[in-house]
Amino acid sequence: MAFYYVKIGFRILTTIFTKTAFFENEIAERLSYNEEKSFTGGTSMARILFVCTGNTCRSPMAEAILKSKQLPGVEVKSAGVYAPNGAEASANAKTVLEENDISHDHRSSMLTRDEIDWATLVLTMTQSHKGLVMNQYPFAADKIFTLKEFAEETGNLDVADPFGGNEQIYREAFKEIQKSIERILDKIR
């Protein structure tokens, strides 16, 4: 009888270790990048979609920053999980972009299946956005990350929301986004 319990205990432990190893490998695979696996979705074009809440502050700044790099073979869009269609970027977002010599004509758009299908990589501004997008579009889970997660940063993986803040708060959000984008450039080329 004791042997029976040892055998069952061993099976349980084996199952736990196997599942843990599987999830660790899955996470490592999702974050790894090499010449054979890029985020171009099998095309020569990388299509990056930035996602935030209202698509008037963080994701338009991220879109503008990456577009300003003028990377060949990289297309960029942004959308919001609760965005009104057609709103301009916030005044402070536009000011901060202008201060950094980045011009960007932006109109907000609600995140839809079309954008998810278009994108080869979806980068959200927060873990909450990531959860919402993955819940709504589970088939796309392998291409959805927070921006900071994809940039392999540690600690807080959320970009602070500057909405309603002054220009200085927007400058800080801009720097936070810019730093993360610099870290992902080699992965998306």
Residue numbers annotated as active site:
52, 58, 161
User: How far is 110 from 97, CA to CA, in rounded Å?
Assistant: 22
Q: How many helices (H) and strands (E) are present in the chain, helices listed first?
A: 7, 4
User: How far is 6 from 14, CA to CA, in rounded Å?
Assistant: 12
User: How far is 77 from 39, CA to CA, in rounded Å?
Assistant: 15
DSSP code at position 161: P
